[in-house]
Chains A and B, each alone.
Chain A
Amino acid sequence: MSAPGADRPGSGAAAAPPARSGPGSSAADELARALDRISRVRGMRGSMWVSADDGLPVAQLLMEGVPGRAVAALAASLVRKVSGSAGAVGAGRVRFVQMEAAGGTLLVALAPPDLLVVALADGRVNVGLARLEMMRAAAAVAR
């Protein structure tokens, strides 16, 4: 995996340490820890923090070959479209979007006011677990 824009605190199957703010813990560290936890979900090919407004990556942890900028831009655009539609059908603010395709799944959790947690996974992914980690990460930065 490559992690431009974010320091990655190692990888492996062990449980990730809880993300915790404190002395010596920067916001970037916290974002990186969240990506690390998400990346440990089986089937995950990459995860990123994305600016909701312009679809640019803020921090990312991707397998080789995953086009980070494209994932970020497309995910932000899709969420904008879905959010507009949700407004049109009276569903209110969107919190989580998952697009399942034949070759994988794109997952997006909204982290108000201006970030998205985006994950790209293959067909083996445990969507429920990925969703939990992503919503947890989104809630942490929204606090």
Chain B
Amino acid sequence: MADDVRSLTAALARDPSSLRYADLAESLRRRGQRDEALRVALHGLARHPQHADGHDVLARIYSDLGDLDRAQLAWGKVLELAPEHPGALKGVAFVRFRQGDARAAVEALERALAIDPSDEAAQRALESMRRDAPMADLPTAELPTAELPTPVAPVPAPPVPAAASPEAGAGSAGAARPSGAKARPAVFSGFDRATADILLLDERGLVLAGGLLAPNGADVSEVAAAGLAGVSGEAARTAQHLALGGWRTIVAEAESANLVVAPVGSGALLLVRRDRSMPVGLALRFAERARGTASTWLEGQGA
């Protein structure tokens, strides 16, 4: 990734009018250097205001920065320039979903799939949203989510099942999976609630392994992964600005559960959700063990 940035920077230095600025901005964004990515994208778009892919990258940067209004405007611009731009349609879906407008999100994904029916990410997201649509249609004010003004993913806060459950070790081959869990690599085989409370995702918010279930058994892994994707960048930015070095873990104590989020390898992110009855220190140890397992697995995948 660092080589990408170097080579793209060199390419732009040789030809400042190149459209490679969008690739450079995207590479910087993925490295968590969002301020720099924003600067590159805006600079490039000043030269190429009709470049749809440039606006698409700009929208993703704004999304990472938590500025969903600007992200939505930028993706809107992309769709003005390229009405069938799949990235922008999925981006609009993401923003609308985060804003609690599941219907608009579904419509955008349906448009994306009408253009490219083989888009598996859009298919998965659409399935997930349709499954959760009745909950998503709740007015935001009724959602018992975060108390701060923030885009909330429309999954109501449920009581998390007790840590000990019949689903323990469900990720192991041959073991019964919780009814709603999808088949994924059995990375966390042997861990308590391996496919219900442990999720491994990549920096783009795509699920790699594990799973997260709602109390009704619905698999909410993809929704959760999409919501978590920005946390890693935010943590990296915070640590960098405060000269804290690399971040290791984030622990969030919430009403219904404790969450541990940790980076794994290059760009992956681990989420462990534990019942409030488990002490935070123990949850951290559990997450550390899961991180080791995930890291080993990712190395085995060549990731």
Using a CB–CB distance below 8 Å, which chain A residues touch chain B? 52-53, 67, 70-71, 74-75, 77-104, 106, 110, 112-113, 120
Q: Does B138 sit within 8 A of A, measured CB to CB?
A: no
For the complex, give the distance between the alpha carbons of A136 and B26 in Å: 43
Within the complex, the shortest CB–CB distance from A141 to chain B, in Å, comes to 14
> Which residues of chain A are within 8 angstroms of B145 by Cβ–Cβ distance?
83-84, 86-87, 92-93
B145 and chain A: residue at smallest CB distance: A87
For the complex, give the distance between the alpha carbons of A102 and B157 in Å: 32
For the complex, give the distance between the alpha carbons of A80 and B234 in Å: 10
In the complex, which residues 110-162 of chain B have their Cβ closer than 8 Å to any Cβ of chain A? 143-153, 155-158, 160
Cβ contacts A to B, 13 pairs, < 8 Å: A70-B241, A75-B238, A80-B146, A84-B150, A84-B153, A85-B227, A85-B259, A89-B257, A92-B157, A92-B255, A100-B248, A101-B239, A103-B245
- Chain B contributes a number of interface residues (CB within 8 A of A) equal to 56
B213 and chain A: residue at smallest CB distance: A90
Within the complex, the shortest CB–CB distance from B54 to chain A, in Å, comes to 25
Using a CB–CB distance below 8 Å, which chain B residues touch chain A? 66, 98, 143-153, 155-158, 160, 212, 214-215, 220, 223-224, 226-228, 230-231, 234-235, 237-239, 241-259, 261, 271, 273
For the complex, give the distance between the alpha carbons of A67 and B157 in Å: 35
A87-B239 CB under 8 A given contacts A101-B248, A102-B244:
no
Q: Is the interface of A mostly helix, strand, loop or mixed?
A: mixed
For the complex, give the distance between the alpha carbons of A103 and B255 in Å: 29
Within the complex, the shortest CB–CB distance from B151 to chain A, in Å, comes to 6
For the complex, give the distance between the alpha carbons of A37 and B149 in Å: 29
For the complex, give the distance between the alpha carbons of A77 and B151 in Å: 12
Given contacts A71-B242, A83-B150, A88-B220, 13 further A-B contacts (CB under 8 A): A78-B250, A79-B148, A82-B231, A82-B259, A84-B150, A85-B252, A85-B259, A87-B157, A89-B257, A92-B254, A94-B146, A99-B250, A101-B239
